[in-house]
Amino acid sequence: MITEKGGMGEARRHGGRPELVRARVQRGMSQESAAAALGVTPTTWARWERGEQGVRASYRPRIAAIFGVAAVEVERWIEGWSHGETSSWPTTDLGDSSPAATVKSAALLWRLEMDPSRRHLLASLPFVPSALGEWLVSWNYGTPAASAARRGAGRVVGLADVARINEAQKAFSQMDNRFGAGLVRPVVLEYLNGTVAPLLRGHYDDRVGSELMKAAAGMTWLAGWTAFDLNRHGQAQQHFGQALRLAKTGDDPLTGAWVLTTLARQAIHLEQGAWAVWLARAAADTARRAEAPPRVMAPILVREAWATALQTKPAETNDRHSAKQIERLLIEAERAYAKGVTDRDPEWTDRFDEVELNAQAGRCWSLLGDHNRAAAGAEAAVAEFRERIPRTAQFNQIHVAEAYLEMGELEQALDSARAAIPVTKALTSARSIDLLQQFSGRLEPYGATVAVREFRDHLSGELIA
């Protein structure tokens, strides 16, 4: 045991910061020398180590520089987060679904997002597939809280407060669809930290608590979705995990299924085929256990088909068993959608109309080798969403181009991709730019042609502008 005053033993007894102590001692520094290097008094440093005083955000990057470590490590020393090899930072532990633990975890994540000195750390987090396994086990086998009620120190929370959160999410989602995540994400985070967190710390009964957790999960999902749209995948994963935890605490399987199928969509984007399938199947299993309405099952089944197609790539492998499985899922989704709406349909099912489902099914047909069908679904989506949901229209415009390219129709492919460029410039969406650049990369076999050279020059100039 380290016996230096203010060292490991004393830090533990005071519930202090033993990792900060260990880091200093391993570098042969006294409290006085560490304080001098940082420009604080030895008393301040000692209080930091004993956990008696907070460490201001401005000092944390300087501590990292002095000790020669990543800023994430300093956060771990100061805040006491686990930072194992198989977990992301800060951790989202679904094991404890009590309202108090869930509220504390959510508020911490949102507070970090509002701290300018630490926001960039969250933005640089890697996507950690191994964390998904822990979440799936906790979601499937963990026991929900006995009650979502909370007797916090804040004000009494009612269903009217919950309704306002849901209305805000609807408005923010519309902005995200029209303009991309870059515009709306700061507003979402401010709302979570400034409005939702105080409500979660308030006083509410079980009924209100369940609805509040559900609403908070939806807004947290949107924070994750906007990070996803900006290609901040570790950051997105953190919010999706937190949304799953809120859904678990509120005992809301339909919201949980929605979060799981969104995680599957992220895994598809990152070409994590196996994880995409596991997440999609977990979403479908969750929905079935909850006897989900048909309009909930339809998009989940399409997402499972897409994940399966990505993993098995039947057009390349000629795997007829997988092809039949994918086709069966698409037929099942079509039949579910045809059953119509119910009074149990969650708000999020509105974004999946028939055109959108056919467009997503088109990604499956593309992986099945049926590029004509893929193009038809994407072209219908472009026509439907051009004015209403520009980002979705832009994605599908490029999918049209990809389908024509696969069919050997280079001129039509280039015309379709060129039509997507003005929309891309108007969006604040990193994914939309990536999709165009990926299409440009697929033109390499035709790279010597005049048409492709002109397209690439045009694309480069427009994106720079």
Enumerate the H helices of 290-370 as residue ranges.
294-312, 314-317, 320-338, 354-368
Mean pLDDT of the chain: 89
DSSP 358: H
What amino acid occupies position 249?
T
Q: Of 251, 271, 288, which residue constitutes the final position of a domain?
A: 251
Same domain, residue pair 21 and 166: no
Residue 389 lies in a domain: no
Q: Of 235, 251, 267, which residue constitutes the final position of a domain?
A: 251
353 — pLDDT class (breaks 50, 70, 90) = very high
Are the CB atoms for 181 and 428 separated by under 8 Å?
A: yes
Q: What is d(CA 59, CA 45) in angstroms, rounded to the nearest whole number?
A: 11
Same domain, residue pair 122 and 71: no
pLDDT by residue (tens digit) across 79-108?
A: 665 433 333 444 555 666 789 999 999 999
Q: End-to-end CA distance of the chain, in Å?
A: 61
Angle, CA of 112, 258 and 196, to the nearest 5°: 35
Same domain, residue pair 35 and 130: no
H-helix or E-strand spanning residue 252: none
pLDDT computed for residue 240 by the predictor:
97
Same domain, residue pair 126 and 193: yes
pLDDT for residue 21 is more than 50 = yes
Residue showing tokens 């909930």: 296
pLDDT by residue (tens digit) across 405-419?
A: 999 999 999 999 999
pLDDT computed for residue 92 by the predictor:
58
pLDDT for residue 11 is more than 50 = no
- The number of beta carbons lying within 10 Å of the beta carbon of residue 190 is 13
Task: Specify the number of domains making up the chain.
Answer: 2
Same domain, residue pair 107 and 182: yes
pLDDT for residue 295 is more than 60 = yes
145 — pLDDT class (breaks 50, 70, 90) = confident
Same domain, residue pair 119 and 65: no
pLDDT for residue 343 is more than 50 = yes
Same domain, residue pair 54 and 158: no
Distances, alpha carbon 245 to alpha carbons 102, 145, 457, in Å? 7, 11, 47
Q: What is d(CA 195, CA 381) in angstroms, rounded to the nearest whole number?
A: 36
pLDDT computed for residue 55 by the predictor:
85
Coil, strand or helix at 203: strand
State the virtual CA torsion across 20, 21, 22, 23 in degrees, nearest 10. Answer: 50
pLDDT by residue (tens digit) across 416-452?
A: 999 999 999 999 999 999 999 999 999 999 999 999 9
Same domain, residue pair 100 and 240: yes
pLDDT computed for residue 94 by the predictor:
62
pLDDT computed for residue 432 by the predictor:
93
Q: Which of 351, 429, 363 shows the shortest CA–CA distance to 396?
A: 363
Helix axes 233-249, 253-269, angle to 10 degrees: 170
Q: Of 251, 273, 301, which residue constitutes the final position of a domain?
A: 251
Share of the chain above pLDDT 90, in %: 68
pLDDT computed for residue 54 by the predictor:
81
Q: Which residue has the higher pLDDT, 36 or 218?
A: 218
Q: Which of 196, 218, 99 shows the shortest CA–CA distance to 147?
A: 99
Same domain, residue pair 40 and 150: no
Same domain, residue pair 72 and 207: no
pTM of the model: 0.81
Q: What is d(CA 220, CA 118) in angstroms, rounded to the nearest whole number?
A: 19
Average pLDDT (35-54) is 87
Contacts of 227 (CB under 8 A, 6+ apart): 123, 181, 185, 233, 235, 236, 239
pLDDT computed for residue 6 by the predictor:
35
Coil, strand or helix at 27: coil
Q: What is d(CA 307, CA 273) in angstroms, rounded to the nearest whole number?
A: 6
Average pLDDT (238-247) is 96
Same domain, residue pair 189 and 247: yes
Residue 262 lies in a domain: no
Domain holding 59, by residue range, is: 1-80
Angle, CA of 205, 200 and 71, to the nearest 5°: 155
Q: What is d(CA 55, CA 456) in angstroms, rounded to the nearest whole number?
A: 50
pLDDT for residue 56 is more than 70 = yes
Sign of CA dihedral 392, 398, 402, 408: positive
pLDDT computed for residue 97 by the predictor:
75
Are the CB atoms for 372 and 391 separated by under 8 Å?
A: no
pLDDT computed for residue 87 by the predictor:
38
pLDDT computed for residue 3 by the predictor:
31
Same domain, residue pair 113 and 193: yes
